[in-house]
Amino acid sequence: MATTSYSDSNLSTPHLPRSLCHIVGIACLAGFAVDMLVLAVPPDPMSVEWRASILRQLSDRSVILLFGIALTLYGSLNNPQTKKPISLASLLLGVFFSLCCVLVIHDGITIQQEAINTINKQATQVQTQIQQAQTNPPPNLKATPEQLQQASKQVKTQADTLTQTTRITAIKTTFASVGNLLAVGVGLISLGRYGSRVRRS
């Protein structure tokens, strides 16, 4: 009975919840760091596609980082030696995430334009081949001029559809990434300010 009473008293101590939050928070941060490290290898920061992929993955996993820092900060509120650097790191990460939104928009526009240029280039090549077939039809050509004209219209329609789909997809992807990064950035800044102001309890 004495052992049970002792265990119950330990479980009711106010430091236990914060210790558990600290452990879970560190686990979340470690998992986030490992994921991003694996995704970032091999590094190629000069590649727009690489940056866009990393920032998209960062956006998708940013909530885990926010959750981990919040738990770690809560578990360190009574320890000024760890609370201060965690608060500072949260502030810096919040600013970093907010600035990443500009890069996401830039890279999104660049990738979108490259994709549209590729579509237009391929469509132009096909249109040129059709025009050559209309002007100088090869001996083995079985298509009629009307069929070639219809094929030309289909190529233009498909190119327009692909261009529109590419633009919509790029806008949606960019908007989702920017929204996540901005929301988590504001959250991290708020956590950092809270941690730097709250007093030991």
Distance between CA atoms of residues 126 and 148, nearest Å: 11
Q: Are 153 and 200 in contact (CB under 8 A)?
A: no
Domain membership flag for residue 113: yes
Of 177, 60, 180, residue with least CA distance to 111: 177
| Rg of the chain over all Cα atoms, to the nearest angstrom | 28
Domain membership flag for residue 86: yes
Q: What is the pLDDT of residues 114-156, one digit of tens each?
A: 999 999 999 999 888 888 877 777 777 676 778 878 888 898 9
Separation of CA 51 from chain center: 10
Domain of residue 76, residue span = 13-197
Distance between CA atoms of residues 148 and 138, nearest Å: 13
Output the pLDDT for position 139. 72
Domain membership flag for residue 7: no
Q: What is the pLDDT of residues 108-119, one digit of tens each?
A: 999 999 999 999
Domain membership flag for residue 6: no
Number of domains in the chain: 1
Q: What is the DSSP letter of 7?
A: H
Domain membership flag for residue 97: yes
Q: Nearest 5 degrees, angle CA 93-CA 190-CA 58?
A: 35
Q: Does residue 4 carry a pLDDT above 70?
A: no
